[in-house]
């Protein structure tokens, strides 16, 4: 750790920035701000409109696309500014993360602060970051054609790539913080691997729920009952039965609901299996943290559903998933080294 402390600080700073980006991304989605900037300019798009003429030009461009024409035709320039802010901030943070990852990486590479293994891992991180940026624009493009909403598949890809980039950044940092190896319990490690996989699938279905506005129906718990769709626009399509679970609002919410029980069950099983084992202090802390966070996240999911996704609860639920993934990554690392 002492030899690599600046590299560790760099990686953990990247983790923090990705967390902030996901937080702002959640607000952007819940405030329906994601389609407010309908073009992409890598350099000149860094600054928002700086005067009345530039704001009007941005608003006129927004008027050419389906979200304004079908949903927000009543918007004034001031209304437009309120949604523009969140999307601009989200993109600005993405650009800043790119700088934070690339420039220190080149410095550490030129000053030979990275061994061959870490160089390979960091190169993969840079690829994931670039791919995340591409997926963001690819997602936005899907909402600029005929429907005033982005593809929930592209939204899920954009979100899960951010989560995985964070988890891998944390893993690489942990490799440097805890370089020594020791005997591990393979059974517990395999349970953690399975739990992590289930959690990733659950996050993907959470993105489906968000992308389809499926949280605005069946706002009851524990059973799904008829609920009014609060979101203004409804698209009803006939589809094969199995497609309902990836494209239908009720089917997607059904999977997300019951995967939550599986996630909770897997963590409780993990707690049960480790209860009688002699564990290292950090392993114990990881298990305890998982048990606490999975309970908090489950309750946040229930309340978010019951209250039909208010902004604060919706964002808190997404942050809960982020913290749970971080705890799962940390704990798996402690059982893998």
- Closest by CA position to 127, among listed 159, 168, 96: 168
Calculate the CA 112 to chain-centre distance. 33
Q: In angstroms, rounded to a whole number, what is the distance separating the alpha carbons of residues 273 and 191?
A: 9
Look at residue 226 in the predicted model and tell me its pLDDT: 60
Residues 88, 112 within the same domain: yes
For the record, the structure tokens of 324 come out as: 């749970």
Q: What is the pLDDT of residue 233?
A: 43
CA gap 40, 235 in Å, rounded:
28
Question: Are residues 260 and 175 both part of a single domain?
Answer: no
Q: Both 215 and 256 in a single domain?
A: yes
Could you tell me the residue range of the domain that residue 311 belongs to? 184-227+235-337
Lowest mean pLDDT among 39-43, 50-54, 166-170, 256-260: 39-43
Q: What is the predicted pLDDT for the residue at 238? A: 63
Q: Are residues 50 and 77 in the same domain?
A: yes
Round to whole Å and give the CA distance between 193 and 175: 17
Q: Are residues 149 and 7 in the same domain?
A: yes
Residues 314 and 305: their CA atoms lie apart, in Å, by 9
Query: What is the share, in percent, of the chain residues with pLDDT greater than 70?
Result: 93
Are 62 and 110 in a shared domain?
Answer: yes
Residues 6+ apart with CB under 8 A from 14: 97, 100, 101, 125, 169
What is the reported pLDDT for 148? Answer: 83
Is the distance from CB of 21 to CB of 159 less than 8 angstroms? no
pTM for this prediction: 0.91
Using the 8-state DSSP alphabet, how is residue 144 labeled? Answer: S
pLDDT at residue 112 above 70?
yes
What pLDDT digit, counting tens, does each position of 78-89 carry? 999 999 999 999
Is the confidence at residue 1, as pLDDT, over 70?
no
pLDDT reported for residue 293: 97
* CB neighbours of residue 263 within 10 Å: 23
119 neighbors 95 (Cβ within 8 angstroms): no
User: Does residue 261 share a domain with residue 142?
Assistant: no
* DSSP state, residue 48: P
Tell me the pLDDT tens digit for each residue of 217-253: 999 998 887 655 444 444 445 667 788 899 999 999 9
- Residue 166 and residue 245 in one domain: no
- C-alpha 211, offset from chain centre: 13
| 198 shares its domain with 329 | yes
pLDDT of residue 242: 83
Residue 171 has pLDDT above 90, yes or no: yes
pLDDT at 237: 53
Regarding whether 192 and 163 lie in a shared domain, the answer is no
| Average pLDDT, integer, range 146-175 | 93
Same domain, 123 and 193: no
For the chain, the domain total comes to: 2
For position 3, what pLDDT does the model report?
66
Please report the pLDDT score of residue 234 as a whole number. Answer: 43
User: Tell me: the pLDDT tens digits for 3-60?
Assistant: 688 999 999 999 999 999 999 999 999 998 988 888 877 776 788 899 999 999 999 9
Question: Could you tell me the pLDDT band of residue 71, with boundaries at 50, 70 and 90?
Answer: confident
Same domain, 218 and 294: yes
- What pLDDT is stored for residue 225 in this prediction? 73
Mean pLDDT of 310-326: 95
């Amino acid at each position: 750790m002492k030899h690599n402390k600046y590299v560790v600080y760099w990686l953990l700073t990247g983790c923090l920035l990705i967390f902030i980006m996901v937080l702002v991304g959640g607000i952007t989605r819940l405030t329906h701000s994601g389609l407010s900037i309908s073009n992409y300019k890598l350099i000149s798009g860094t600054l928002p409109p700086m005067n009345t003429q530039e704001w009007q030009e941005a608003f006129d461009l927004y008027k050419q696309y389906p979200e304004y024409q079908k949903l927000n035709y009543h918007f004034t320039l001031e209304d437009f500014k309120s949604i523009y802010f969140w999307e601009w901030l989200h993109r600005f943070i993405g650009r800043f993360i790119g700088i934070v990852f690339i420039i220190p990486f080149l410095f550490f590479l030129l000053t030979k602060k990275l061994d061959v293994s870490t160089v390979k891992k960091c190169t993969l991180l840079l690829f994931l970051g670039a791919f995340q940026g591409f997926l963001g624009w690819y997602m936005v493009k899907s909402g600029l054609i005929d429907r005033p909403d982005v593809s929930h598949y592209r939204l899920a890809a954009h979100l899960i790539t951010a989560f995985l980039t964070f988890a891998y950044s944390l893993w690489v940092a942990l490799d440097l913080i805890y370089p020594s190896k020791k005997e591990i319990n393979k059974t517990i490690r395999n349970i953690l691997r399975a739990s992590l996989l289930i959690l990733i699938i659950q996050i993907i279905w959470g993105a489906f729920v968000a992308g389809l506005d499926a949280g605005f129906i069946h706002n009851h718990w524990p059973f799904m009952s008829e609920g009014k769709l609060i979101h203004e626009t409804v698209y009803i399509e006939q589809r094969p039965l199995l497609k309902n679970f990836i494209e239908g609002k009720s089917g997607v919410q059904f999977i997300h609901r019951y995967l939550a029980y599986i996630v909770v069950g897997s963590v409780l099983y993990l707690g049960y299996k480790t209860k009688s084992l002699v564990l290292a202090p950090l392993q114990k802390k990881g298990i305890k943290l998982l048990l606490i966070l999975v309970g908090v996240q489950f309750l946040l999911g229930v309340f978010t559903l019951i209250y039909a996704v208010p902004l604060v609860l919706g964002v808190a639920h997404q942050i809960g998933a982020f913290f749970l993934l971080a705890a799962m990554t940390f704990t798996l690392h402690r059982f893998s080294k």
